[in-house]
């Protein structure tokens, strides 16, 4: 058993760890409410919500936000089906080449995002140059392709975890009752995967929305919210950036609480 002393030390450590995680974010949020035109915490000149209004009127940010939302939605539409296919193939593939296949699918997670962005741009530039059409050489499309290469792998990991709990007997029973393979896939496997599909979609959207390294290359001359933000932060900043941080933190907190709540509700309903 742990002594009183070690228990106290563990609690102190955990407290310090979370203070370390949250303090920088809290400090970053404070300038959003300070009237000072430079993002600073102290001296606190006065309380204001003007920076949020300024944020809402920032054309570049709103344009970037629209692009980010589009890209996020498209990445979900690409990565979730691709990740699911990857997980199913991983399960069926010959066990001798499974490690190789697994390594190939996980590689984009390990390769630095900058390199993924660069290689995506080069590939599509060469491809469209030799095809003589430039329609696909477009920032939004390239960003979706670049981001999906590693976000599909995140989704695959979620699906693989869920597939391991899949009871093959259900499939067998359906086959015995005369169902076709296609019916089994849509009638049994997909419903079983539903909670994982939901979490994969949320994960894919958030990963796409917050991505910078791959996006800054793949977006070409176009802009997303993170690239606009990066430009503003580099150029000397305004407290509007803090205001945006507050908004993003609030949205992610709401999202993660919601997701937790959904998964609990799901667990209680299915009795798992």
Count, residues in the chain: 272
- Pick from 217, 223, 238, 243 the residue near another protein by CB under 8 A: 217
- Pick from 55, 65, 72, 105 the residue near another protein by CB under 8 A: 105
- Pick from 118, 174, 188, 262 the residue near another protein by CB under 8 A: 118
> Are 188 and 171 within 8 A, CB to CB?
yes
Q: Which two tokens stand for residue 133?
A: 């059409």
Fill in the per-residue mask, 148 to 177: x = in contact with another protein (CB under 8 A), - = not in contact: xx--x-------------------------
- Residues 48-57, buried b or exposed e (16+ Cβ, 10 A)? eeebbeebee
- Pick from 233, 258, 265, 266 the residue near another protein by CB under 8 A: 233
d(CA 122, CA 128): 10
* H or E segment to which residue 253 belongs: helix 239-270
Shorter beta-carbon distance to another protein: residue 115 or 173:
115
> Are 222 and 139 within 8 A, CB to CB?
yes
Does residue 119 belong to the site contacting another protein (CB under 8 A)?
yes
- Pick from 109, 140, 174, 262 the residue near another protein by CB under 8 A: 109
Q: Which residue has the tokens 């499309």?
A: 141
Number of residues that bind another protein (CB under 8 A): 90
Give least dist CB 68 to another protein, A. 10
Q: Which two tokens stand for residue 229?
A: 């933000």
Shorter beta-carbon distance to another protein: residue 70 or 212:
212
Does residue 258 belong to the site contacting another protein (CB under 8 A)?
no
- Pick from 135, 182, 268, 270 the residue near another protein by CB under 8 A: 182
Does residue 14 belong to the site contacting another protein (CB under 8 A)?
yes
d(CA 125, CA 121): 6
Give least dist CB 137 to another protein, A. 13
- Residues 31 to 90: which contact another protein by CB under 8 A? 31, 38-43, 81-82, 84-86, 88-89
- Residues 84 to 103: which contact another protein by CB under 8 A? 84-86, 88-89, 92, 94, 96-97, 99-100, 102-103
Backbone angles phi, psi at 180, to 5 degrees: -85, 165
User: What is the CA 94 to chain-centroid distance, rounded?
Assistant: 31
Does residue 143 belong to the site contacting another protein (CB under 8 A)?
no
> Are 242 and 251 within 8 A, CB to CB?
no
Alpha carbon distances (Å) from 14 to 4, 25, 229, 261: 16, 17, 32, 24
* H or E segment to which residue 190 belongs: helix 190-210
Give least dist CB 48 to another protein, A. 17
Give least dist CB 257 to another protein, A. 7
Give least dist CB 142 to another protein, A. 10
């Amino acid at each position: 058993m742990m002594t009183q002393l070690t228990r106290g030390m563990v609690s102190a450590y955990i407290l310090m760890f979370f203070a370390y995680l949250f303090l920088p974010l809290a400090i970053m949020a404070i300038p959003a409410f300070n009237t000072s035109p430079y993002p600073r915490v102290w001296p606190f000149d006065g309380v204001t919500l003007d920076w949020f209004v300024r944020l809402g009127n920032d054309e570049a940010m709103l344009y970037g936000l629209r692009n980010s939302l589009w890209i996020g939605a498209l990445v979900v539409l690409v990565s979730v089906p691709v990740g699911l296919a990857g997980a199913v193939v991983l399960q069926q593939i010959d066990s001798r080449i499974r490690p190789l296949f697994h390594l190939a699918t996980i590689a984009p997670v390990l390769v630095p995002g900058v390199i993924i962005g660069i290689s995506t741009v080069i590939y599509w530039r060469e491809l469209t140059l030799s095809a003589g059409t430039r329609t696909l050489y477009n920032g939004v499309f390239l960003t979706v392709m670049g981001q999906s290469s590693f976000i599909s792998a995140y989704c695959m990991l979620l699906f693989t975890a869920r597939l391991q709990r899949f009871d093959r007997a259900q499939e067998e029973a359906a086959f015995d009752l005369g169902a076709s393979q296609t019916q089994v896939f849509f009638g049994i496997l997909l419903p079983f995967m539903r909670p994982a599909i939901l979490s994969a979609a949320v994960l894919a959207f958030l990963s796409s929305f917050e991505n910078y390294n791959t996006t800054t290359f793949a977006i070409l001359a176009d802009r997303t919210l993170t690239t606009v933000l990066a430009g503003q932060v580099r150029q000397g900043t305004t407290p509007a950036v803090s205001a945006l941080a507050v908004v993003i933190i609030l949205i992610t907190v709401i999202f993660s609480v919601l997701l937790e709540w959904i998964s609990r509700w799901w667990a209680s309903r299915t009795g798992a």
